[in-house]
A and B are shown apart, each in its own frame.
Chain A
Amino acid sequence: MTDRIKEQLSTFLDGELPDQETALLLKRLERDDELRGALSRYSLIGAVLRNDGDVPAARQVAARVSAAIAREPMQELGMRLFGVATVLRSGAGLAIAAGVAAAAVLMVQQLNVADPAAPQAVLAQVVESPIVPVSAVDEPEDSPPISYVTPPAADGPGSLPPVQFANFLVAHYGYASPLVRRSVGAGLISATDEAATEDATAADTRNGQ
């Protein structure tokens, strides 16, 4: 799969591919197993198309697209660009779960798990199923594909995976109080592999406050 196709696929998933190119891509999808395979690996997209969700908007969209795929030839489906792109755009968002997972584990400290005996999730110790990238930008053709790993959905009963927390923290960032938004942002880009320094309480003590 060439970079050009990857870019097209990415743009298509983002719902930003022009109509004409989308029609061509849909035709290519029809005959290109590899391309279809790439799409099929976005299993979360499948969840939407299979109507697994229980959210009304997703259900409606899923039903519409499932029906379109089932009943219409590809050419006609291509004419329904907007609806398909919308769904796949959602799918792209769903697929980012895997990508963001890699980022998320860096950011969060696991505290107060319901089960104190549950092991603490630690970055770089959690290596599970490989995931498929949503898109690549200027990736050399001969370079090995970049793959990411995501921790399991749950580290065990009673624990909140750091990856999950961080994913939601990104979504919350824009709504954080302006007073603390910088702090929330700092938490998002802070590395956890640094040696911990004195905590605020210790600093208070030292400063005599």
Chain B
Amino acid sequence: MNPRRVIAVALCLAAAPAAAETGREWLDRMMKALNSATYVGEFVSESAGRSERLSITHRVQDGVVSERLVSHSGSGRELVRENDEVVVYLPDQKLAIIERRPSRSDLLGALPPFEGQMDSWYNVDYVGREASLLGPSAVVAVRPIDGYRFGYRLWIDEDSHMPVRSELSDAGGKVVERLRFTKLTFVQDIPDSAFEPALDRSKLRWVRQAPQVEDEAPTWRAAQVPPGFRLSVSGLQVVAGSSTPVQHLVYSDGLASVSVFIQAPAPGQPPVEGSGRSGVASAFSTVVQGHQVTVVGEVPPRTLKVFAIGLRPVTGAAPATSTAATDRSRRD
């Protein structure tokens, strides 16, 4: 950045206090921007020793959210979301995966972010103002009060209220993932053609995930969940790789979300136990009462294990209780 511009920005930051200086206010503004802004941009995601440059096209039009993510790694991979449908294009594998949900199920609306429930489990602080690549930003720290969830440090653009940079950290303060916008432009309108993948779709194998069966009474529940997490969504879903419909439970603490998948044992398929990680998301798989249980979410692995081992069939199961009391006493 030009030294003169740096000085000008610094003077600007010193002279003009932010309109809202509580962390929670900035979070609310940020969420509003995330859900309403129409923009195009480029960002870099760094995680687990890898760096990926991607472009994003995001449009909110008449309540319909359209988004297109394009990898710049050379693979030509894309992810296109059109409200309740997500298509992952993997041209290097000649494959396209379609995830479609019932129209009445709003993916974003399914998990209202930043509800009051998160206040008990995160401390949100306004840290200050910083000059970032795209202009002055409000820096907000979201610190979890325990080790069951990640912390966030957010750089929220003061003009647009968009998070132009973010860091996700574990309980030890180690940065797990960093995302940084390098370009961000707000536009009034984006044509539909901008959400068309730049690849030959006729060469792809189309793979559809069956719609989730909503309103199914869950046959399994987490009898004990990490503090602050509540059941948000449940239903049966056909998931790739499973030979039978899988029960899908979604828990949220108002900020982080966890998916719990329970599969009936499949003949000839050995049970799997272990864990994995892809960027900010981790997974843990184990066997509970003969059923294959896989838990996925943007939380520490420890949290996933608590969900998994706490699962019980609904019949005769007590309502889910939180481990909050245990953890609070431990902290005390």
Contacts and interface: CB of A to CB of B under 8 A. Distances in A.
Interface of A: 10, 14, 44, 47-48, 52-58, 89-90, 92-94, 96-97, 99-104, 106-115, 118, 133-139, 146, 148, 153-154, 157-180, 182-192, 194, 196-201, 203-204
Nearest to A61: B245
Contacts of A10: 206
Given A90-B238, A101-B241, A172-B259, A146 B94 contact: yes
**8 smallest beta-carbon distances between A and B, as pairs:** A93-B210, A93-B238, A100-B240, A54-B264, A160-B274, A187-B279, A53-B244, A197-B51
Nearest to A143: B203
Interface stretch (B2-10, B39-47, B222-230, B321-329): B39-47
B163 interface: yes
A10 B174 CA distance: 47
Contacts of B120: none
Nearest to B202: A138
Contacts of A113: 274-275
Interface size class of B (residues with CB under 8 A): 35 or more
User: Which residue, of B202, B266, B269, B283, has the highest number of chain A Cβ atoms within 10 A?
Assistant: B283
A166 to B, nearest CB: 7
Given A179-B255, A191-B73, A53 B245 contact: yes
B211 to A, nearest CB: 8
Given A54-B264, A165-B296, A189-B78, A171 B248 contact: yes
A90 B219 CA distance: 19
B61 interface: no
A108 B275 CA distance: 11
A176 B264 contact: no
Nearest to A192: B50
A204 B153 CA distance: 13
Contacts, number: 343
A169 B278 contact: yes
Contacts of A139: 202
A188 B209 CA distance: 15
Given A168-B239, A177-B255, A188 B79 contact: yes
Contacts of A112: 274-277, 301
Contacts of A106: 90, 92-93
Nearest to B272: A154
Contacts of B127: none
Interface of B: 31, 34-35, 43, 45-52, 54, 56, 69-71, 73-75, 77-79, 86, 88-90, 92-95, 97, 99, 101, 107-108, 110-111, 113, 152, 163, 166-168, 174-179, 201-210, 213, 216, 219, 232-233, 236-248, 250, 252, 255-257, 259, 261, 264-267, 269-285, 291, 294, 296-298, 301
Contacts of A177: 111, 113, 252, 255-257, 298
Given A168-B283, A183-B179, A200-B176, 15 more contacts: A52-B266, A54-B264, A89-B210, A106-B92, A109-B276, A110-B276, A114-B273, A172-B257, A177-B255, A179-B152, A183-B45, A183-B279, A194-B50, A199-B49, A203-B178
Contacts of A185: 69, 79
A148 B244 contact: no
Contacts of B298: 176-177, 180, 183-184
A159 B274 contact: yes
A172 B43 contact: no
Nearest to B247: A55
B93 A102 contact: yes
A165 B69 CA distance: 21
A115 B275 CA distance: 10
Contact of B259 (A101, A175, A203): A175
B283 A57 contact: no
A158 B267 contact: no
Nearest to A189: B77
A107 B238 CA distance: 20
Contact of B281 (A110, A169, A179): A169
A109 B48 contact: yes
A191 B92 contact: yes
B179 A182 contact: yes
Contacts of A174: 86, 99, 101, 107, 110
Contacts of A137: 201-202, 204-206
A8 to B, nearest CB: 14
Contacts of A92: 208, 210
Contacts of B267: 47, 52
B98 to A, nearest CB: 9
A54 B246 CA distance: 10
A168 B273 contact: no
Nearest to A99: B207
B205 A111 contact: no
A47 B266 contact: yes
Given A168-B239, A183-B47, A183-B280, A189 B31 contact: no
Nearest to B274: A160
